[in-house]
Structure 1
Amino acid sequence: MKARKIIVKILDNIFNNRAYSNIELNKYLNSEEIDSKDRALITEVVYGTIKYKSTIDTILSNYVKDIALIDVAVINILRSAIYQMRFLDRVPDYAVVNDSVNLSKEVSQNSSRFVNGVLRNYIRNEKKNYKEGFAKLESICFDYSFDKWMVKLFILQYGEELALEILKGLNYRPNITVRVNSNKSDYDEVFEKLEEEGYDVEEGSISPDAIKINKGSTIEKNPLFISGDITVQDESAMMVAPLFNFDSNDIVMDLCSAPGGKTTHIAELLQNEGEVLAFDVHEHKLKLIEEHKERLHLENIKTDIMDATKLNAKYINYATKVLIDVPCSGIGIIRKKPEIKWTKNARELRDLVQIQRNIMENAWEYLRVGGELIYSTCTLNKKENEENIDWFLDKHNDAVIEKVFIGNSKNIINNENGSVTILPNEYMDGFFIAKLKKR
């Protein structure tokens, strides 16, 4: 009962107050006395309910006159219950119904009767075909639980077959991946230590620095993490920094650096030499980078507040390398932040393109002749990716693209313009990388 109460609180904050799922989960799981079994249930049900919200709401609409009229204090009790009964088998249906009814009694007796009626009606119609009469697009939206506009976007840009693979990939439950700090530790030794400590681990799919953690206790509390031997980072993001051809005297600017995964990776690959300038518009995010810097024992990072969309004359022709992991729609990381399904819209995606282009223009001003620029995003929207690169190359005669190659995995697309798109799967987020050189 306590676990389900926490589940509903978290869902209320996410759906009603636009809170971030990862932050809300950490807040509750770190502050409550919760055993590992309940911790796993809370995490699974929260992420699953957010992920399948559209499908669940379609199901609920078969048992209520208007889902929009359901009390906000009750709707997430119903959503989380339907998720557990439809997508999980670890908890019996009667137990889910009983806990949901008791939870709704805290709202009102009428609410508890309503919840009981809806859920028991759902159980009685266990084999109901909720897609009856649906067109193909509606059916896809129901199966994968995505809004129509996003499904249409993927089909238009990638074709139906690949679009379905993307939708499937974005619904995978992600495991934790850690990057071994090559500046401090030996990969094999770290791997063995994690095994000795009871973690179920395996090598990364592509990155030589990646270790996948399939099962184990909270990695942030592990001595290897605390001492800076490892840091948490998705394997797709690990592919960015090694694409630079580093020199010990490099001056590297990371214009959109928070939370610092790529910044610290660059600093590690430079072996604490050169200079890494990490910028962000928010001071509290820079403090996070400083914390990572100290934990990873890195001395070549300097942080400062700067808006990447505004040109800073101080840094014109300053850097030998520039990284711009630009603000984007984030639809490549729905595995980890499923609320992106419901918080983004097509208009937002259009507005982001101009911001990204402003950052590209400024980054190019900061780069010296002969220098390298890497443009990356965690989105799969081609307008934010390949089309931005093509636009930039058409506008700048001194820019030449350097073909990026990171492997031959099934989820990697080598684009015609030399850039790379990483499709989401059970191990990696969706990602885009392009590399330019200033001639």
Structure 2
Amino acid sequence: MDNARKVAVDVLNEVFYNKAYSSIVLGNMLNNSTLDQKDKGLVTEIVYGTIKYKYTIDKILKEFLKNNFDKTDRFLLNILRITIYQIRYLDKIPEFAAVNEAVNLVKKHVSLGASKVANGVLRNYLRNKEGAYYKEGNIFEELAFKYSFPQWMIKLFYEQYGIHLCEKILFGLNQRPDITVRVNSTKGDYENIFNRLEENGYQIEEGYVCPEAIRIVRGKSIEENPLFKEGVITVQDESAMLVAPAMEIEENMTVLDLCSAPGGKTTHAGELLNNTGEVLAFDIYEHKLNLIGENIRRLGLTNISLSLLDATNYEENLEEKGHRVLIDVPCSGLGIIRKKPEIKYNKNMKELQEIVKIQRKIMTNAARYVKEQGVLLYSTCTLNKGENEDNIKWFLKQHPEFKVEPLFFGKVDNIIYHEEGYVTVLPNTYMDGFFIAKIRRTK
């Protein structure tokens, strides 16, 4: 029988040292393990929690390991990380049990000497749980330790949003994400599908802001549900659900989706067309198009075609092709840290600046694909204004034939309606951080 904490350490080793995606490596390791469902849940909690709070945990460990932190055996260091996480952030696991389990695992997988180090560090921490591990009086160090974010990211949010919204963003990005599903309007009505989910034993609620959304509060894996397999529902965050309806899609239109993976917005557009018209969906990676194709077939959509395309390269045969053109551009992903906490540690300011060049190439090409009076929809899952507001302002200077049209998704406290017309969605329990701009070609 596999040990839950050993599996968690193996996952973290791949994420922290081999830059693996947490969701992928965790899924693979759990599927290949002999753990029962309860232990799989524990592994998932420990992995995501430890990644989420790595900055804070490492600040604590550096206090006890001193100059040896960077030289510490990786297995030992990850055992210390997951144990500090359990002690500091979980209530259900007794402290002595967490420490004993850690010491025994280090003794088994590293050495007796390393287990003595683990025992010393962890018991020292237990005596100093309320200690100050940052420079008091420094707002950036305080926020970084409290919310467990690198200081450069704290400063970015602080400078762009001010202290109040900065803290709101940090708090929101640390929330446990809900699973939300979108009702496929081509296969049934909302009320009927809602009732069928309840009959299948799910505890559910209506969406936070999207009329197509159903929140899964409690229940078994949604992908094993007959309604999912029948294509009646599909998993999608509510922020992403806002995008396709914002285009004001009408039947028989041609919709271009230039950066379509993972395909949620593509299929949503197909549903809004009610299987009329056409959605021309493109992506740079063939394996991602294959996954989108599987979803299209599951959802029973017949109006979507898939093609390889690098959206940074101009494609002449798409000139003025689309009534609606969607560019959900590659971005830094700072709005989806709830789901991918490793983004905290694998991004930097240089990458944020470099991605803007790619985004602007895509915007320039996409402008040429929009019919007169058509709509260009720009969206990202980041909160960096350099990739959002600044790009829209740049685009409008380059293309005076376009203008932003205001969007409104309802009065909720996490959506910012800018006077220019575009929208920023702040992360909370229900939604990822997002940015959406609807831009009309007027001539």
| Aligned match of 1:4 | 5
Structure 1: which 5+ runs fail to align?
A: none
Q: Distance in 1 between matches of 2:172 and 2:7?
A: 28
The alignment status of 1:238 with 2:241, answered yes or no, reads yes
**8 Å Cα contact 2:329-2:379 kept in structure 1:** yes
Q: Distance in 1 between matches of 2:243 and 2:250?
A: 16
The alignment status of 1:183 with 2:186, answered yes or no, reads yes
Report SS of the residue matched to 2:217: strand
Alpha-carbon distance, 1:134 to partner: 5.2
Report SS of the residue matched to 1:392: helix
Alpha-carbon distance, 1:411 to partner: 0.1
Q: Distance in 2 between matches of 1:126 and 1:369?
A: 63
The alignment status of 1:340 with 2:368, answered yes or no, reads no
- Which moves more between the two structures, 78-87 or 117-126? 117-126
**8 Å Cα contact 2:135-2:141 kept in structure 1:** no
Q: Distance in 2 between matches of 1:423 and 1:180?
A: 24
| Aligned match of 2:218 | 215
| Aligned match of 1:97 | 99
Alpha-carbon distance, 1:99 to partner: 1.4
| Aligned match of 1:37 | 38
| Aligned match of 1:77 | 79
**8 Å Cα contact 1:179-1:231 kept in structure 2:** yes
- Which moves more between the two structures, 414-423 or 102-111? 102-111
Per-residue CA distance 1:191-213 (angstroms, 9 max, x = gap): 12222222111011100010111
Per-residue CA distance 1:146-189 (angstroms, 9 max, x = gap): 11111111111111011000000000011111111111122112
| Aligned match of 1:250 | 253
1:335-374 correspondence to structure 2 within 5 Å: 335-374=338-377
Q: Distance in 1 between matches of 2:387 and 2:130?
A: 42
Q: Identify the match of residue 115 of structure 2 among 96, 107, 112.
A: 112
- Which moves more between the two structures, 142-151 or 104-113? 104-113
Report SS of the residue matched to 1:331: coil
Q: Distance in 1 between matches of 2:135 and 2:158?
A: 23
- Which moves more between the two structures, 37-46 or 206-215? 37-46
| Aligned match of 2:298 | 295
Report SS of the residue matched to 1:292: helix
TM-score normalised over the length of structure 1: 0.98
| Aligned match of 2:64 | 63
1:280-429 correspondence to structure 2 within 5 Å: 280-429=283-432
Q: Distance in 1 between matches of 2:246 and 2:289?
A: 24
Size of the aligned set, in residue pairs, is 439
Per-residue CA distance 1:303-359 (angstroms, 9 max, x = gap): 000000000111111111100000000000000000000000011111111110100
Q: Identify the match of residue 150 of structure 2 among 131, 147, 150.
A: 147
Report SS of the residue matched to 1:370: strand
Alpha-carbon distance, 1:117 to partner: 1.2
Report SS of the residue matched to 1:7: helix
Report SS of the residue matched to 2:50: helix
Alpha-carbon distance, 1:31 to partner: 2.5
Q: Distance in 2 between matches of 1:60 and 1:406?
A: 44
The alignment status of 1:200 with 2:200, answered yes or no, reads no
Q: Identify the match of residue 279 of structure 1 among 278, 282, 285.
A: 282
Report SS of the residue matched to 2:294: helix
Superposition RMSD in Å: 1.1
Structure 1 residues 132 and 373, CA, compared in 2 at 3 Å: closer, same or farther? Answer: closer
- Which moves more between the two structures, 120-129 or 378-387? 120-129
**8 Å Cα contact 1:323-1:375 kept in structure 2:** yes
Structure 2: which 5+ runs fail to align?
A: none
**8 Å Cα contact 2:190-2:212 kept in structure 1:** yes
Alpha-carbon distance, 1:36 to partner: 2.2
Q: Distance in 2 between matches of 1:398 and 1:131?
A: 52
Per-residue CA distance 1:206-259 (angstroms, 9 max, x = gap): 000101111111111111111101100000000000112223221111000001
Q: Distance in 2 between matches of 1:87 and 1:15?
A: 20
**8 Å Cα contact 1:390-1:417 kept in structure 2:** no
Q: Identify the match of residue 163 of structure 2 among 154, 157, 160.
A: 160
Q: Percent identity?
A: 55
| Aligned match of 1:24 | 25
Per-residue CA distance 1:252-306 (angstroms, 9 max, x = gap): 1100000100000000010111010110010000000000000000000100000
**8 Å Cα contact 1:386-1:417 kept in structure 2:** no
- Which moves more between the two structures, 329-338 or 36-45? 36-45
Q: Distance in 1 between matches of 2:31 and 2:229?
A: 17
> Which runs of 4 or more aligned residues in structure 1 lie more than 4 Å from their structure 2 counterparts after TM superposition?
none
Structure 1 residues 132 and 434, CA, compared in 2 at 3 Å: closer, same or farther? Answer: closer
Alpha-carbon distance, 1:366 to partner: 1.0
| Aligned match of 2:435 | 432
Opposite residue 244 of structure 1, the aligned amino acid is M
Per-residue CA distance 1:367-426 (angstroms, 9 max, x = gap): 111111100000000110011111111111210111111111000000121000000001
Report SS of the residue matched to 1:65: helix
Alpha-carbon distance, 1:128 to partner: 2.3
Report SS of the residue matched to 1:202: strand
Q: Distance in 2 between matches of 1:171 and 1:312?
A: 40
TM-score normalised over the length of structure 2: 0.97
Report SS of the residue matched to 1:434: strand
Q: Distance in 2 between matches of 1:129 and 1:351?
A: 37
